[in-house]
Structure 1
Amino acid sequence: MEEDRLMACSCAGKKILVVTQHFYPETFRVNDIVKGLIEDGASVDVLCGIPNYPSGEWAEGYGYFGHRYDDYHGASVFRSGEIRRKGNTSIRIFLNYISWPITASLKALRLKNNYDVVFCYNTSPILMVIPARVSAWRNKCPLVTYVLDIWPENLYTVLDVQSSLMRAFAKSFCDKQYAACNKLIALSDSLADNLFRRIKPLNSDASISVIPQHCEEIYERKSVSSDLRSQFGGQCIFLFAGSITPAQGLDTVIEAFSRAVTNSSVEMKLLILGDGMSRAELQKTVANKGLGESILFVGRVDPEVVPMYSDIATAMVAPFADNPELELTIPAKISSCMASSKPILAVMRGEGADAVRSARCGFVSNPSDVNALANNMIKIASMNKDDIASLGANGFDYYREHFSRAVCLDKIEKAVFD
């Protein structure tokens, strides 16, 4: 039976090189994609960087020297150097962005393994595509790029680029990188349409598939921590889990929570799991508002621990910055929140907001509408347990149909290998 299943998989017996700057022990969904490809019979190599995201500090056992090879569930992992993000200042992030593609391109020239395809898992920056292109050229094989962050638009959530000349150059450069790929995978129909308009004049043969980000099955699990239940039981808990960056728009969430606490008699807490470049500034904001006992920065936790926090959460908070171009994607946290069987407070426009509405699993507010989010928090706090459970169940059903691991990995394999 297992042999028959593997024979039916699109990737069985194929060789694939996965190119991405961020890989295990960094917690990106490409880790699970690699595991899935191996489970389905592919031979997988990974070209990636040295783990230091999001804190900017090297993961234990890694650094500027040594430790350039790992084995990950049967995948050979080749690491090339980079300047770490230490401090997460604009200049350090810029140096990080440009250093890895250079070293990775040099390593790519030495990685000739007769690959059937190169698969670029393209988060920020788009410069990751460069070593992927080198790898595809070196191995004379197709390049398929999964576009997770649309550039240059995503860049502007981190760096304030005002020069129209610089913006025009950035767009032209990014369009050429996308057009150089044999196939693109977009997260949504809107993003696919955007990419198609940009690359069609440059590459009339390029094709685009639409596959949303899947959610690892770990977020479905029901894990209980008696300590957390004892600490937070009987309270209305709003939970955010993810990278703490400008793209998340957490300042709006904190202001809305402040207003909700003032206008509700229900005891509420906001738990923020994760780390990132905006954490220190947001902690100052919380301290200045005198909300240190109500808004708790838990820090980064292992993915296996997140379901324990979901267990004690009344609702999940899924914010996104107010940027029209970012409305084209469905944030990964939407699928994670749905998998947790908890209601979602979505703070976004576009595809992500549409998914929450379609699933009927929570409430949506615009990123700039603090009062609307505060009212939604109060609404959740006043709901009975049955109504809250019903919203969570709706989200889980939608997740199983659209975002589950099995569904999305099957689509990825077909897009990459067919």
Structure 2
Amino acid sequence: MTQQTPALQRRLGVFDAVVIGLGSMIGAGIFAALAPAARAAGSGLLLGLAVAAVVAYCNATSSARLAARYPASGGTYVYGRERLGPFWGYLAGWGFVVGKTASCAAMALTVGSYVWPAHAHAVAVGAVVVLVAVGYAGVQKAAWLNRVIVAVVLAVLVAVVVASLTSDASDAGRLDVGGDATAGGVLQAAGLLFFAFAGYARIATLGEEVREPRRTIPRAVPIALAITLAVYAAVAVAALSVLGAGGLGTASAPLADAVRTAGVPALLPVVRAGAAVAALGSLLALILGVSRTTLAMARDRHLPRVLAAVHPRFKVPHHAELAAGAVVAVLAATVDVRGAIGFSSFGVLAYYAIANASAWTLTPQEGRPPRIVPVAGLVGCVALAFSLPVVSVGIGAGVLVAGAAWYGVRRALARR
């Protein structure tokens, strides 16, 4: 970043950073990801959740140490560039922006499908417009909205857990962990569930807007991850105890089915509203993360320079936010990308693989984590990425290859 490039304003403390991370992780994924994960792992669903949590912890630790060292917008794009070289930073940023843009559209469509199914696309576009306007007005306002969203979603999930575990339909015998599970199924479930864990990256990508980043980020990331894991484990246990692995795997709306089976149909509207609010929280955090990574890549001219502009009053990357919002709105209006979760997971896992490789190069004086952490994180990311459905792996790998090819073309043209 040159001295002439305007900087963002540091307004967020530990609490704000934790809430933004929670808004990213405790989102629509918990309402939707349990079913495909249960189909993949069967009774090994909880094992898959544990594997995803371990990989997420390694990634979170590596990311937090790197974010404290490089407290600038861009996350692993910056870390890869500084520790491994420009190409690896670019590849991380490319995978993040493309994959998370698809995730934004998926979250917007999730809002539409819960709020007004007959007009899901129109509602999705409206949600994108409103949340881009919130982000445009300043990251602190976005953080306040995240607080409200997180509080609502947590209240809904607590109601689901209590209703399920206290019902006559609950049976602890359905928690037969690993009875019919296979290693491949558990890994695939972990890869799908990782999609819902990956929100702590939003804390790192906001590194330039966090007060005392060397202290705040390493504290906020593990706190947000630990809270999310506890919530996910409680919800998974509650749903399994009522529906069993087979019923959960075939559920189209797993938490709604859980409260219905538990004999509490009055909670169904609450669950639907909670799912819509959760998707809004995820969408808001995703737009923040994509726009900040876009800003960092534009500063280095990997993307159009105009996207590096920072609003003189609101101190946000307004051109990057508007561009990201426009792309997401077009996708949400024209296609159904809810099946892109696997593709997004592949891109995010590639992103974190580069983060772990970057953390390996830190010295003890720079705050390097124990060596086992980046090694386990890197191996875990690669294993989970290639355990995803074949179509997701193919599309994800193709996107990364296309990005690498574009980087090579740009370098060749620059030399001329």
Higher relative contact order (CA 8 A, sep 6+): 2
Structure with higher strand content: 1
Give the structure-1-normalised TM-score.
0.30
Structure with higher helix content: 2
Asked which structure has the greater CA Rg, the reply is 1
Give the structure-2-normalised TM-score.
0.30
